[in-house]
């Protein structure tokens, strides 16, 4: 009877160890799955932020808003005003996408610097069209000039922290 009792205890113990091992493996598999899903989510978010930043830089820079803004100041052609306005809204949409992204406070402050500069340019574009239309080019250029060095630095900083390179 004692051998039989010992065998039963050993069998129960083996089954218990086996059950615990199975539960631990299931828990580990679930944990790894959740970790992988989180990593994928963060990776996709990082790529989206980089794409939004690239869209912002594209719509802000050469052949973007500032390019069309300068063309309007020089030539006062309606098509340049329309192109500048469209590029402004493209840049603004890219900024909004970045503002809703999960970025740290420093990056958010950089985005706001860029947004302030973009908005200042847009105000000046509208002043150029509505208030200063008849001024000579050099006088108009001086009136609508925007110090965009802080936005440039902010974009450089964002590129360093938000690009998945």
Tell me what pLDDT residue 42 has: 74
Burial class of residue 73, CB neighbours in 10 A (0-12, 13-18, 19+): buried
CATH of domain 45-162: 1.20.1440
Q: Residue 74: pLDDT above 70?
A: yes
User: Taking the domains of the chain in order of start, what are their residue ranges?
Assistant: 45-162
DSSP 135: S
The tokens describing 114, both together, are 């860029």
Q: 């420093």: which residue's tokens?
A: 106
Tokens of 47: 């790529």
Higher-confidence position of 146 and 164: 146
Region 80-109: what's the mean pLDDT?
91
Q: How confident is the model at residue 165 (pLDDT cuts 50, 70, 90)?
A: low
Residue-level pLDDT at 1 = 59
Element at 150 (helix H, strand E): helix 149-162
Q: What is the mean pLDDT of the chain?
A: 86
> What does the pLDDT look like over 36-64, one tens digit per residue?
777 777 777 778 888 888 888 888 777 78
């Amino acid at each position: 009877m004692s051998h039989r009792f010992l065998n039963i205890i050993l069998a129960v113990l083996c089954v218990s160890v086996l059950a615990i091992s199975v539960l631990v493996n299931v828990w580990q598999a679930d944990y790894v799955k959740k970790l992988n899903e989180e990593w994928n989510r963060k990776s996709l978010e990082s790529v989206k932020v980089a794409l939004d930043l690239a869209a912002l830089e594209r719509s802000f820079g050469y052949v973007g808003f500032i390019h069309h803004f300068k063309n309007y100041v020089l030539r006062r052609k309606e098509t340049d005003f329309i192109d500048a306005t469209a590029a402004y809204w493209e840049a603004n949409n890219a900024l909004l996408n970045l503002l809703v992204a999960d970025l740290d406070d420093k990056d958010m402050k950089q985005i706001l610097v860029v947004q302030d500069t973009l908005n200042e340019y847009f105000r000046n574009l509208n002043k150029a069209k509505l208030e200063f239309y008849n001024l000579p080019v050099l006088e108009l250029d001086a009136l609508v000039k925007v110090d965009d060095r802080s936005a440039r630095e902010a974009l450089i900083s964002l590129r360093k922290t938000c690009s998945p390179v």
